[in-house]
Each structure stands twice: as C-alpha cells, then as structure tokens.
Amino acid sequence: MRQLIAGNWKMNGVFADVARFAGPLRAATGLGCDVLVCPPATLLAAMAQALAGSAIAVGAQDCHPDPPGAHTGDLAAAMLRDAGASHVILGHSERRAAHGETDAVVCAKVLAAHAAGLVPIVCVGESEAERLAGRAEAVVAGQLAGSLPGGFAGVIAYEPVWAIGSGRTAAQADVAAMHAVIGARLHAQFGAAAEAMPVLYGGSVKPENAASLLTLPGVHGALVGGASLKPADFLAIARAARTLPNPAGGG
C-alpha cells in the first residue's frame, strides 16, 4: 500500500491559496504516496476543481452526524461529498477539546461519513498529562473502541495532543510502540479488515523529521498541520513517503 500524506489546513486559507497550492501539487511527478489536501470548507469546491483530473484527493475537516436539515452553520457529509471531498477528518483533538466532541459523537460522524461515501480519518491521541501518568495506550485504546463503529472502513491518525502544533514530535520508539498498539487493537476490533486501515502519525511532522517518522514500523503515512500550509514543505514530506511492502496493520 502507498503511504498517505494528508494536509490539514485547519482554519487557514483564502481563495488565492487554492491556485498557489494546486499548481505545485499538480506539477509534482513521481510521488510514491497518496496525497490528500484538507482545506477549510470554504475552499473545498474550488480546491476539488483545481485538482480535478490529478491523483490528489481533497478532504474536509469535520462533518455533522445528521443528514442535511435544520442545523445552522453545520455541514452534512453528503454536502462535503458534493463539494468534491473524498475524505473527512473526524475527532481531531482540537474539536474534541474545543467542541466537546466525545467518542460517541465521533462515532456518529463516522457513520454519517460512511453513508455519504466519504473515507473517515479518525484522530486519536493522548494528552501530555495522560502520557506522563502512563495512560497513553489505555486512552488511545478507549478512543478507538468508542469512536469506531462496527463495520468501520477508513483511516486512523495517531496524534499525541502535546505534539500538535508544538514543534515537539513524539520519540520514535513511542510512535512505533503506539502504532503497534493501534494495529493490534484494530485487528482485535475488526479482524482481517484492519489490514486495509492505514494508521497515520500526526504532530509537528515537517520536512526535517518526515523520513525518520515515515520509516517507522506501522506508520502508514502522516497527517500534517502547519507544514501543510507551505507547498514546498508539504511536497518535501510527500517525497519522504513511499510505497509500503506490507499491507496496513502488517507492520
């Protein structure tokens, strides 16, 4: 399977950024990975149009769990699909923290994404206090159990909360250990279907550390925040990615 490099623009980007990004991304040849760009919802349709016909996919950063209806200010999964998204990030720690998203809410959103034909990218990760208390693996296991419905099909992103936007990355041994735990949990929950669930690492991934993170066992790609806002940096990370010999979950 090819590693997946996904860019999460968060609440950044204006219309002019679409062309500034789409040009270099379209021009990049010889990438050995899959590439996904998740701009804010205001730019989804424009980005999807600008990348149409290329191998680069476009994703959203959240969706509402319900079908279209009376939810002022929200966006249904089907509307994101209609705008050109193929993926949707769900349960990002910023949404879990700032919007009180529980595992149950994330699980409902995953079901909505499935129903709309979007690939969910479900984020999990421990806080610094939880890691220091020795609870990192239990926290992540609980998030997986609570956020992933039966029949889940999609991507997992392991993002230690304290590594997001902080410039600090988790130690390589800790990343490898957590990816092994996640792989084992996915196998326990979903059996052979877990082989088709890539597990990304996220948290201050940048060109300088991409190669060392992307060669760790069980790391099937990266979810990139800050560094995804610069086309050159994002492409440098994508160039550090590769096609994996083993199926996801297989190490």
Catalytic positions: 92, 159
Minimal distance in Å, beta carbon 23 to ligand PGA? 23
The closest residue (CB) to ligand PGA is 225
Taking the least distance from each CB to ligand PGA, the nearer of 17 and 190 is: 17
Residues that bind ligand PGA (CB under 6 A): 8, 159, 164-165, 202-205, 223-227
Taking the least distance from each CB to ligand PGA, the nearer of 190 and 210 is: 210
Minimal distance in Å, beta carbon 65 to ligand PGA? 21
Taking the least distance from each CB to ligand PGA, the nearer of 86 and 209 is: 209
**Angle in degrees, CA 170, 174, 180, rounded to 5:** 130
Pick from 32, 26, 33: which is nearest to 6 by CA?
Answer: 33
Taking the least distance from each CB to ligand PGA, the nearer of 64 and 92 is: 92
Minimal distance in Å, beta carbon 205 to ligand PGA? 5
Minimal distance in Å, beta carbon 35 to ligand PGA? 15
